[in-house]
Structure 1
Amino acid sequence: MSESKEQFYQSLSEQLTALLEGETNWLTNLSQFSAFLNMQLEDINWVGFYLSQPDSDLLLGPFQGNVACVRIPLGKGVCGTAAQKQKTLVVEDVDQFDGHIACDARSRSEVVCPLVIDGKLWGVLDIDSPSLNRFDQQDADGLENLMKILIDATEWSR
């Protein structure tokens, strides 16, 4: 990537705003968002959403990549922990994360951003990479900004 990460994520923000313009359906927008990130991010092997269920596990939502774990308990693995804490987690080496759930043995690093609307957890965005140390705080910040664009463009009713 010849441009800085800040410039890269700024460009993605502009592209995402245009992509989502005129569409407010949450399922459609989550699907488009996953496909968009899969096309734009290098060195990843899975990107998608796990959606919160009332008083239950996270359930697999729109994604790009190999088949995945269908349910993840709150507080378990990187996704369940990020959901429970409602905090973005960057994991440089998934083998060092206590309780990591290996849905794809090729994944070596991960970033998970909670999807929180009006204080309510809707789920998490999960991105995996086959490389160690693929994600850093700049990625987390850039992805959180992209999530804000998604949230603002979408009508969140099920």
Structure 2
Amino acid sequence: MPHADASLVPDSIKTKSEFWTHVHDQLEILMGGQRHWVSNLSNAASLIYNSLQAFPSNFGDGERSVNWCGESLHFPPLVSTTQSTKSDRPAPSLSSFYLISSLFPQPRFTDASMDPQSQTRASTNMLLGPFSGRPACQWIEVSPRPRGVCGDAFVKRSTVLVLDVLTYPGHIACDGDTKSEIVCPLILRKGGEDIVVGVLDLDCLAIGGFDADDQVGLERIVALIIRSCDW
């Protein structure tokens, strides 16, 4: 099967529970034999985003679409054709990851250009990781004061579901069209310690675009990503 076909959603899938199980299983196949987080998170962001676009009964590409999906990463300093049918369901507007900065490759030829301010900032924020959607924030602060939904999910180590971003204190408006958001932390269990390496962030164009079913499905996908990658 062509890799792009992984984002096709069969007509037999009707509920969100069935949808997220399908996405989980497709992602597990896509990540088979690959353990680098850059490659796996890239496919994860794309698969989630395009699958949501191809699921018009709940999201689609209209007013209820998800407009962003992706990851952000944080690293401690020491350590098919998608359907175009319009619908009244929320469309995904973004799917992304933000990851702790220490996970990112360090400069090999320009270390001298790393000024002290940049090094300090690297230990207190998440950097933009693989995503699908419009351009987004390059980094998000997590210390000493977390910023936005992503920062809060990182510090709380739990999923944050926001029905209306305009009512959320400190919301970061990367896209002014975003109305709702869900952020799931990426938690790595190592040596008896829980290490938050980043977050998975999804934005939606509709108020109340995400619910408990989405949270359950995304948390299961996040768990799959964590155990499928070398961090």
Q: TM-score range by the shorter chain?
A: over 0.9
Matching residue of 2:224: 149
In structure 1, stretches of 5+ residues that fail to align are: none
Is the 1:79–1:126 contact (alpha carbons within 8 Å) kept by the matching residues of 2? yes
Matching residue of 1:100: 171
Of 200, 214, 220, which residue of structure 2 is paired with 1:125? 200
Matching residue of 1:7: 18
Matching residue of 1:35: 46
Is the 2:23–2:47 contact (alpha carbons within 8 Å) kept by the matching residues of 1? no
Amino acid at match of 2:40: N
**Normalised TM-score (structure 1):** 0.94
SS of structure 1 residue aligned to 2:169: coil
Matching residue of 1:110: 181
**Alpha-carbon distance in 1 for matches of 2:75, 2:21:** 32
Q: Which has the higher contact order (CA 8 A, sep 6+)?
A: 1
Please report how far the alpha carbon of residue 11 of structure 1 lies from its aligned counterpart in structure 2 after TM superposition.
1.2
**Normalised TM-score (structure 2):** 0.65
Matching residue of 2:152: 81
**Alpha-carbon distance in 2 for matches of 1:88, 1:113:** 4
Is the 1:46–1:66 contact (alpha carbons within 8 Å) kept by the matching residues of 2? yes
Larger radius of gyration: 2
Please report how far the alpha carbon of residue 8 of structure 1 lies from its aligned counterpart in structure 2 after TM superposition.
1.1
**Alpha-carbon distance in 1 for matches of 2:48, 2:16:** 14
In structure 2, stretches of 5+ residues that fail to align are: 1-10, 53-58, 60-64, 77-122
Please report how far the alpha carbon of residue 53 of structure 1 lies from its aligned counterpart in structure 2 after TM superposition.
3.6
**Alpha-carbon distance in 2 for matches of 1:87, 1:115:** 9
Of 105, 117, 124, which residue of structure 2 is paired with 1:56? 124
SS of structure 2 residue aligned to 1:58: strand
1:26-69 C-alpha deviation (Å, 9 max, x unpaired)? 11111110111111113100010111142311111111111111
Is the 1:48–1:63 contact (alpha carbons within 8 Å) kept by the matching residues of 2? yes
Is the 1:34–1:48 contact (alpha carbons within 8 Å) kept by the matching residues of 2? yes
Matching residue of 2:88: none
* Displaced runs of 4 or more, over 4 A: none
1:117-153 C-alpha deviation (Å, 9 max, x unpaired)? 1110111000001111000111011000011111121
Amino acid at match of 1:58: M
